[in-house]
Amino acid sequence: MNNQPKLDKYKQEIADLYTRRSQNYDNSDWHLQIARRLVEYGRVSPRQQVLDIATGTGHVAIAAAQIVGSEGRVMGVDISPGMLAVARNKALELNLNNTEFVLADAENLDLAGNSCDRIFCSSAFIWMSDLHAALTHWHTFLKPGGIIGIHAFADTAFVGGVVTQKVAEKYGISFNMSKPTGTVDKCQNLLEQAGFEQIEIKIEPEGSYISLEKAKAMWAGNSHPAPGQYPPPLSTLSTEQLAQAKAEFDAELEVLETELGIWNDITTFYVFGQK
Ligand SMILES: C[S@@+](CC[C@H](N)C(=O)[O-])C[C@H]1O[C@@H](n2cnc3c(N)ncnc32)[C@H](O)[C@@H]1O
């Protein structure tokens, strides 16, 4: 596979962001738990061929590699060299000889058709530029009867994101965030329209109270890449407007504060479809 993917500015910013984060990414086990659940629900078994899309530090790939065994094969692809370096080290330490990590754009993969038993994408699907095209692309790599498993968040998830969207709307700005996959119907439609069948969606209503300070730190600002959007939506605001929007964001959060803190919904979807 092409080992130097051509990335547009949007994807290059994502790759750089995750390479900067790569050394600390595994400090929390939050993504790991999600990835393990996706693999568990995805019914991986020995001897399977598994593709882990946007593998990052390899959470899904490594969990799957331990199940498929020496007669199976796992490939993790990602656009961030830093994340892949961490993944490769982990696989080396675990002596996983059935796993490879490849620098590649998940929306432009050069793989054999009908070659995968399972395709997973955990904590990454909303970063794709074109969700429908990505799913259609991945559909070609699944063997008939193979299963895709995608993890996504509900559009109610992450109080910082929800309030950012509310404030941004006042400035005529629309954020994608989790909206494209934000409901069961949207997930169902996305998979159906890409040709998947027997779609199953597990909904896990999760969340916790967080401090006002932590919620305020969830402000999107104008510097990070925003899922599915380039340039970041708030970058169209002037410095004064941005400061005003941030003040409005903080004020909205203050209203939401209770004795326990601020409720941070993290409703999670595990979406499966068959070819
Ligand atoms: C939040 S991390 C998730 C990593 C991993 N799947 C996990 O469960 O921890 C998002 C990852 O998506 C990768 N990514 C984003 N867009 C991508 C693309 N078009 N192709 C490949 N990887 C991509 C990023 O580089 C990053 O490593």
Of the pLDDT bands very low, low, confident and very high (cuts 50, 70, 90), residue 162 is very high
pLDDT bracket for residue 223 (50, 70, 90): confident
Place of tokens 């941005």: 242
pLDDT band for position 78 (cuts 50, 70, 90): very high
Region 179-196: mean pLDDT is 98
Q: Given ligand 1 and candidates 57, 83, 90, 150, which is best to mutate, with the most ligand atoms within 8 Å of its CB?
A: 83
Domain annotation for the chain: domains and CATH numbers: 9-157+176-207+265-274 (3.40.50.150)
What is the rounded distance in angstroms from the CA atom of residue 79 to the CA atom of residue 56?
9
Q: Packing angle between helix 81-93 and helix 59-68, nearest 10 degrees?
A: 30
Atom number of ligand 1 nearest to Cα 19: 25
> Hey, what are 21's tokens?
């984060």
Q: Is 79 close to ligand 1, i.e. is its CB under 6 Å away?
A: yes
Joined together, the tokens standing for residue 15 give 């790759």
C-alpha span between 156 and 227 (Å, rounded): 16
At residue 187, does pLDDT exceed 90? Answer: yes
Is residue 13 lining ligand 1, measured as CB closer than 6 Å?
no
Per-residue pLDDT, averaged over 215-237, amounts to 90
What average pLDDT does the segment 72-97 reach?
Answer: 98
Q: With a 6 A CB cut-off, is 77 part of the ligand 1 pocket?
A: yes
pLDDT at 117: 98
Under 8 Å between Cβ of 139 and 196: yes
Longest dimension (CA), the chain: 59
User: pLDDT tens-digit profile of 256-267?
Assistant: 999 999 999 999
Reference 47, options 77, 75, 67, 76; nearest CA is: 67
Using most ligand atoms within 8 A of CB, pick from 33, 55, 131 the residue to mutate for ligand 1. Answer: 55
Q: In the structure, what pLDDT confidence band is assigned to residue 220 with cuts at 50, 70 and 90?
A: confident
CA 78 to centroid of ligand 1, rounded, Å:
6
Q: How confident is the model at residue 160 (pLDDT cuts 50, 70, 90)?
A: very high
Give me the mean pLDDT over the 229-240 stretch.
93
Mutational pocket test of ligand 1: of 127, 129, 268, the residue with most ligand atoms within 8 Å of the beta carbon? 127
| CB 58 near ligand 1, within 6 Å | no
pLDDT at position 3:
65
How many percent of the chain have pLDDT more than 70? 99
Q: What is the mean pLDDT of the chain?
A: 96
Angle at 34 between CA 33 and CA 36, to 5 degrees: 65
Q: What is the mean pLDDT of residues 110-134?
A: 98
What is residue 221's predicted lDDT score, i.e. its pLDDT?
Answer: 79
Q: Give the confidence band of 222 by pLDDT, cuts at 50, 70, 90.
A: confident
Q: What is the pLDDT of residue 1?
A: 61
Contact 199, 148 (CB under 8 A): no
Cα angle, residue 125 at apex, residues 124 and 129 outer, rounded to 5°: 110
**Pocket of ligand 1 contains residue 117 by CB under 6 Å:** no
**Full strand arrangement of the beta sheet holding 99-103:** 99-103, 73-78, 49-53, 116-121, 142-153, 268-274, 197-204
Residue 49, pLDDT score: 98
* Centre of ligand 1 from the C-alpha of residue 241, in Å: 31
